[in-house]
Amino acid sequence: MGTVINDRIDVRISKEQKEFVKYASEIRGFKNLTEFIIFCVNKEANEIILENNLILKSLEDKRVFVDALLNPPAPNEKLKRAQSNYLKFIEANEAND
């Protein structure tokens, strides 16, 4: 079985922030501040990753999406007609105001 190697993250926060976080940790019953911070960071990271993967699941999905943003296709006839109708609608409503 492999050896677990712990890494370290150093964070500087104000004394007030530390006391605030420590108090929350105690309320939730964590053994120590480190355990609480690791729990919170993992929870938030999981939520971010789940949210990120909810809409665009694969790297290919993300590539296609970004490519469509950077290189949009030329408007087709339906889109041109929709734009024309929209502009007519706006013009008619401005005349009524």
13-51: pLDDT as tens digits? 999 999 999 999 999 999 999 999 999 999 999 999 888
Looking at residue 54, what is its pLDDT? Answer: 78
Among 15, 22, 19, which residue's Cα sits nearest to residue 40?
Answer: 22
Hey, what are 77's tokens? 């006839």
What pLDDT shows up at residue 94?
A: 84
Each residue's pLDDT tens digit, 51-94: 877 777 788 888 898 999 999 999 999 999 999 999 999 998 88
Per-residue buried b or exposed e for 50-68, using 16+ beta carbons within 10 Å of the residue's own CB: eeeeeeeeeeeeeeeeeee
CA dist., res. 70 & res. 59, Å (int): 16
Classified as helix, coil or strand, 84 is helix
pLDDT for the residue 1? 63
**Segments making up each domain of the chain, as ranges:** 15-96
SS3 53: helix
Predicted local confidence at residue 97, as pLDDT = 66
- The better pLDDT of the pair 66, 4 is held by 66
Reported pTM:
0.54
Residue 61 pLDDT: 85
